[in-house]
């Protein structure tokens, strides 16, 4: 405190009183957010008690991450602390989402042992806009159903209305699942597998199968396979014969049904369903790998015989 009866503080004294460095206080003064009230005879900046209180507010706002422009507006009365805080929350949410995406990409790279090229692709996919993510999925579904006029309408409607976009505040697992899903639906080999499933469905509908049958049929297979597994029935055993007859229906050919089952019950399609479930946040995926595998094994035993 200078010895002139004014109770003014030098910048060094203000620094000791607040715990801030002289360099920081000088910088904020130069930026116009902490104006000295006077100058000493030697030209040194002088501050009063109000400046000290103002300095505490500046420090708090800066520690909360606000830029000097926002700090200056608050101090000038151009905006309120509440308004600035609300805007900053939005900015922080965006930063948090970006960090989660970064973490998910890096976690995937580490787990996969990815190359630099794969890492670049994953990062690009993870940071796509919502509109770009929708475009990828819409193009995928359009290709699946192009020219197939007899596909079960309930299946097409379900695939077109499935929410396959990331939620507003995705978890790292959801970001990771979206990256893998985006890679999968853009893979020509996977698209060909899915197209084959849709072609089988279209052919079935062409034989006047009741609408909704194609949606109901896999659910029934899961039920039958699950019951067989629970009862410990081996796929090739005589006890499995009644289950297979229900799967085939009247006059069904095991080889034909087996071909359709193998097209829809492979590992990649099961993984596709799991990824959709993760992205949607709908809990554990219902891939039903074991149930489908039991039905496939039972059909193979009959087709071979």
Closest CA to 52 of 25, 77, 31, 75: 25
Bigger pLDDT: 167 vs 186: 186
Q: If you search the block for the tokens 């995926």, which residue do you land on?
A: 285
Q: Does residue 87 form part of some domain?
A: yes
Same domain, 197 and 114: no
Q: What is the pLDDT of residue 26?
A: 93
List, for residues 205-261, the tens digit of each pLDDT value.
Answer: 544 444 434 444 566 677 888 888 889 999 888 888 888 887 776 666 777 777 766
- Name the domain boundary from 75, 92, 113: 75
Bigger pLDDT: 72 vs 4: 72
User: DSSP string covering 33-82, please?
Assistant: SS--SEE-TTS-EEE-HHHHHHHHHHHHHHHTT--HHHHHHHHTTSS-HH
Same domain, 232 and 287: yes
Same domain, 169 and 57: no
Q: How many CA atoms lie within 13 A of 264 on its CB side?
A: 22
Sign, Cα dihedral of 202, 208, 209, 215: positive
Q: Does residue 260 form part of some domain?
A: yes
Bigger pLDDT: 44 vs 7: 44
- Name the domain boundary from 127, 155, 188: 127
């Amino acid at each position: 405190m200078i010895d002139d009866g004014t109770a003014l503080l030098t910048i060094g004294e203000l620094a000791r009183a607040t715990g801030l460095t002289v360099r920081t206080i000088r910088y904020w003064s130069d930026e116009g957010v902490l104006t000295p009230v006077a100058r000493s005879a030697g030209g040194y900046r002088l501050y009063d008690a109000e400046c000290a209180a103002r300095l505490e507010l500046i420090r708090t706002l800066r520690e909360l991450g606000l830029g000097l422009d926002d700090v200056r507006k608050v101090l000038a009365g151009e905006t309120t602390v509440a308004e600035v805080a609300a805007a900053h929350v939005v900015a922080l949410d965006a930063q948090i989402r970006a960090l989660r995406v970064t973490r998910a990409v890096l976690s995937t790279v580490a787990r996969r042992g990815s190359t630099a090229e794969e890492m670049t692709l994953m990062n690009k996919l993870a940071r796509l806009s919502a509109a770009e993510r929708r475009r990828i999925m819409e193009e995928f579904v359009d290709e699946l159903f192009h020219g197939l006029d007899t596909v079960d309408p309930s299946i097409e409607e379900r695939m077109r209305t499935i929410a396959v976009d990331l939620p507003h505040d995705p978890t790292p697992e959801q970001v990771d699942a979206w990256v893998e899903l985006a890679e999968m639906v853009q893979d020509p080999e996977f698209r060909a597998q899915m197209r084959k499933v849709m072609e089988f469905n279209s052919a079935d509908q062409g034989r006047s199968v009741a609408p909704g049958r194609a949606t109901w049929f896999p659910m029934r297979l899961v039920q039958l396979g699950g019951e067989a597994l629970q009862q410990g029935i081996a796929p090739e055993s005589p006890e499995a014969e009644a289950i297979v007859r229900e799967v085939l229906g009247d006059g069904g050919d095991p080889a034909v049904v087996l071909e359709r089952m193998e097209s829809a019950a492979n590992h990649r399609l099961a993984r596709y369903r799991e990824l959709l479930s993760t992205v949607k946040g709908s809990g554990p995926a219902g891939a039903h790998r074991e149930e489908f595998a039991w039905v496939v094994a039972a059909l193979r035993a009959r087709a071979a015989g």
